[in-house]
Amino acid sequence: MVRISIAKMGSDESIPSKDSTSLQDTCPTATPFRQAVFINGFPCKNPANIIASDFKTSRLNHAGNTDNFRRSATSMVTAAEFPGLNTLGLSIARTDIAVDGLVFPHAHPRASEMFYVSRGVVIAGFIDTRNQLFQKTLREGDVVVFPRGLLHFSLNAGFDLATIFSVLNSQNPGTVSSVDAMFEPAGSDALLESLLRTRLLNLSATKADPMSA
């Protein structure tokens, strides 16, 4: 009966809206470990061995290498690298975008993303299932949200390095790249990437801004 009523509301109780809720205070990832049994997540450390360092990471301290065609670098930190995130339903990321650089359209099938600009000027946007573009120019301290599963992108609109920190509401968000999905693996065809890059820059320069206040 419950399942029928939920289905009538347009949803399905078998599809979770977020990662499973933790059944204990903490559950840092047990590393290193040999995965003999495959579970939805990672095994927990012995509670007697949990220490404060399990809940701290320095993986996002330094800028990524932007010396590439896209002039950008993204470092994602999940429970696999940051034990304290295990069972919390969170991941974090740092994106560095050099002048004239960009992050090509991609989506996270299991997470929404809070996108915080720490440095620089960034144009960021996403496209919904009606093919409508929502786009905004962001400056230091600004935050935008990318809904789960929707294609989103960002590009440097300033004259200096841009740095963005993100929080995603899944410990394993996943990433689906439109470039890698449509064409050969990224970097194998610079012409295709160049065409897409030019298209995004032109779109950002000419499209009306429906996200403006």
pLDDT in tens, 99-143: 999 999 999 999 999 999 999 999 999 999 999 999 999 999 999
Closest CA to 20 of 38, 37, 39, 40: 40
Asked if residue 152 belongs to a known ligand binding site, the reply is: yes
More confident residue, 209 or 103: 103
Q: What span, in angstroms and rounded, lies between the C-alpha atoms of 207 and 119?
A: 24
Of 190 and 88, the structure prediction assigns the larger pLDDT to 88
Q: How many CB atoms lie within 10 A of CB 188?
A: 10
**What is the percent of the chain with per-residue pLDDT over 70, rounded to a whole number?**
70
Do residues 59 and 77 touch, judged by C-beta distance below 8 A? Answer: yes
Q: Is the pLDDT of residue 4 over 70?
A: no
> How far is 197 from 200, CA to CA, in rounded Å?
5
Average pLDDT, the chain: 82
Nearest residue to 61 (alpha-carbon basis) of 155, 184, 141, 165: 165
**Angle of CA points 162, 77, 181, to nearest 5°:** 80
How far, in Å, CA of 143 to CA of 198, rounded? 25
| Cα–Cα distance for residue pair 203/105, rounded to 1 Å | 13
**Tokens describing residue 23:** 């059944």
Per-residue pLDDT of 50-94, as tens digits, reads 999 999 999 999 999 999 989 999 999 999 999 999 999 999 999
What φ, ψ does residue 106 adopt, rounded to 5°?
-155, 170
Compare 198 and 157 and report the one with higher pLDDT: 157
Spatial distance between the Cα atoms of 185 and 6, rounded to a whole number of angstroms: 41
State yes or no: 113 annotated in a binding site.
Answer: yes
pLDDT at 6: 36
* pLDDT given at position 110: 95
pTM of the model: 0.77
2 pLDDT higher than 60: no
What average pLDDT does the segment 188-199 reach? 59
**Over residues 22-42, mean pLDDT:** 74
**Cα(129)–Cα(120) distance, rounded to whole angstroms?**
30
Task: Please indicate if the annotation marks 106 as binding a ligand.
Answer: yes
| pLDDT above 90: residue 97 | yes
Q: How confident is the model at residue 191 (pLDDT cuts 50, 70, 90)?
A: low
CATH architecture, domain 58-206: Sandwich (2.60)
Asked whether residue 108 is marked as a ligand-binding residue, the answer is yes
Q: Name the residue among 200, 116, 104, 190 with its Cα closest to residue 153.
A: 104
**The predicted structure's pLDDT at residue 122:** 97
pLDDT of residue 189: 53
Answer for the pair 74, 93: CB distance below 8 angstroms, yes or no: yes
User: Token pair of 101, please?
Assistant: 């650089």
